[in-house]
Amino acid sequence: MPEGLGVKLLGPTGIIVVVTYLMMLLAIGWWGRRARQDNSLSDYYLGNRGLGFLVLLMTLYATQYSGNTMIGFAAASYRQGWQFLMALGFMMAVVGCYFVFAPKLHRLSRREGFITPSDFVAWRFRHRGLTVAVTLIFIVTLANYVLTNLKAVMEVIETGSGGAYTGELAVIGLAVLMLIYQTLGGMRSVAWTDVLQGLILLVGIVTIFIAMEVAYGGLTTTLGSLRTADYDLWSPPAGAEKVRWFSTLVLIFFGIAIYPHAIQRIYAARDSQTLKRSLQVMVFMPLVTTLLMITVGVVGAVRFPGLSRDDSEAITLLVLQDIAMQIPALKFLLTVFLAAVLAAIMSTIDSALLSLSSMFTQDFYRHWRPHLSQAQLTLAGKFFGAGVMALMVGGAIALPSTIWALIQIKIELLVQAAPAMLLGLHVPRLRAGSILAGLIAGTALTLGLLLAANFTGESFFSRPFNLHAGLWGLMLNLVTVAVAHKLEVRVFARRASA
């Protein structure tokens, strides 16, 4: 968010609210530790596979919606108008993809005792090279995700305090706090804090929307004025944008659904029916989250036209400040917004970090030290968690980046692991060699295109013919899998006949 727009959130009231919220997270973390049933990896990383309906729903919700929902979605809607409604579709598409694989994966995870997504790949293909390749893609994309959100924390605190607190200090403090409650109770603490964070996020967004309706005397009139105020924002997308819209839907359908921390929540569900019911509610959550934030951005475009790209990143704050000036009683909304943003970001970071720690422990360390007990592995996982957090915080402080650009890159890489998960579940005859060949080809093409775009500055390479580089990579990935599978079948047939 840009500085200099005169928005200050962290006054005395804001500090009291934030400190109270942070103390509650610590208390929940301690509560999670007291509920511990044993000292196993399953208990620490999956809450002993006992998450009930409400906790599962809220942890899926809080994890899927990050700081980008609160800041980035409204800003993108300010710049693109209703064309950013593609975000409403892609957040629902994620649940559509869960339908494809979650029922079967959940059943297998309980039977086979999976801890990480790579456990499924290892069990299904029995190929160490493929398992390591998939795990590396998961680790790179998750680390990217954590970095992005830590960066967002720094920006929120710096801007919110009007520069009174440095982002570096804030991100270190919050990282230590997340590490404490995560180390105390693992997935149980993280999921329970997600309930609080998800509720803050949901209530925050709905409250902001209602306040907008009240302050502007009915949104229909305000939104309708865009009709004459800005033809571009009122008009439907052109042909190229429509293709890009579809490309984004497909990319996110395959990408976000296979985030390791999302898959671990599938494993952590108490039972199949609990998971099913949570997903049935989850598919409607974008209507009360994404759609409302898009509306905030469009209202911002009506009220504050002509902002630069950087300034538009603070459009939610500007709208809230405008509302507070018109109705001073609604000034508390600024604090609500700050709490909701922090909740959204922290719930994403802690879940991703726990998942990263689980992959280091279960997918790598356990193979190097196979004789360690579950308690020793759990302890090692806690150290890994601390080490990864320290690395990520260091990276967030040192590396400059923009939120949206990083998100695009991580999803484009992540989708290359989708065939291993989805085809692995539903096509029994597929062998590891085909999937690995596809993964290498798809990843190489995606990285090649993105690097070419970066070095040449030509946007064509990042989206050739308006389809994302990651989608081209996924198509090559799937074609390679199909061809390699045919070749494998022929080779086996020849060997059998010989």
DSSP of 9-20, one letter per residue?
Answer: --SHHHHHHHHH
> Do residues 149 and 449 lie in contact, with contact meaning Cβ atoms separated by under 8 Å?
no
Using CB under 8 A as the binding criterion, the count of chain residues that bind another protein stands at 51
Min. distance of Cβ 212 from another protein in angstroms? 12
Q: Does 106 bind another protein (CB under 8 A)?
A: yes
* Tokens of residue 242, six digits: 């429509």
> Do residues 468 and 240 lie in contact, with contact meaning Cβ atoms separated by under 8 Å?
no
Binding mask 108-137 for another protein (x = CB under 8 A): x---------------x-------------
Stretch of residues binding another protein (CB under 8 A), selected from 155-163, 239-247, 304-312, 345-353 = 239-247
CA distances from residue 11 to 163, 164, 472 in whole angstroms, order as listed: 12, 10, 48
The nearer residue to another protein, 176 or 238, going by C-beta atoms, is 238
> Quick one: which H or E segment has residue 152?
helix 128-160
Q: Does 99 bind another protein (CB under 8 A)?
A: yes
The nearer residue to another protein, 130 or 342, going by C-beta atoms, is 130
Binding mask 248-277 for another protein (x = CB under 8 A): -xx--x------------------x---x-
Note the helical H segments in 272-365: 272-282, 285-288, 290-303, 309-312, 315-326, 332-358
Min. distance of Cβ 133 from another protein in angstroms? 22
Q: Does 346 bind another protein (CB under 8 A)?
A: no
Stretch of residues binding another protein (CB under 8 A), selected from 21-29, 228-236, 412-420, 444-452 = 228-236
- Torsions phi, psi for 52 (to 5 deg): -85, 180
Q: How far apart are CA 235 and CA 101, in angstroms?
A: 37
The nearer residue to another protein, 283 or 447, going by C-beta atoms, is 283
Please name which of 411, 400, 481 lies closest in space to residue 441, comparing C-alpha atoms: 481
**SS3 category, 403:** helix
∠ CA 406-417-152, rounded to 5°: 20
> Which of 31, 53, 246, 304 touches another protein by CB under 8 A?
246
Please give the residues from 187 up to 226 whose contact with another protein meets the rule CB under 8 A: 219-224
Q: Does 426 bind another protein (CB under 8 A)?
A: yes
Q: Does 227 bind another protein (CB under 8 A)?
A: yes
* Tokens of residue 369, six digits: 């030290």
Min. distance of Cβ 270 from another protein in angstroms? 15
- Torsions phi, psi for 269 (to 5 deg): -60, 140
CA distances from residue 90 to 254, 351, 421 in whole angstroms, order as listed: 10, 21, 20
CA distances from residue 484 to 124, 254, 280, 435, 490 in whole angstroms, order as listed: 18, 22, 37, 8, 10
Please give the residues from 273 up to 302 whose contact with another protein meets the rule CB under 8 A: 276, 279-280, 283-284, 286-287, 291
For binding to another protein (CB under 8 A), which residues are involved?
Answer: 82, 85-86, 88-89, 92-93, 95-97, 99-100, 103-104, 106-108, 124, 219-224, 227-228, 231, 234-239, 242, 245-246, 249-250, 253, 272, 276, 279-280, 283-284, 286-287, 291, 425-426, 428
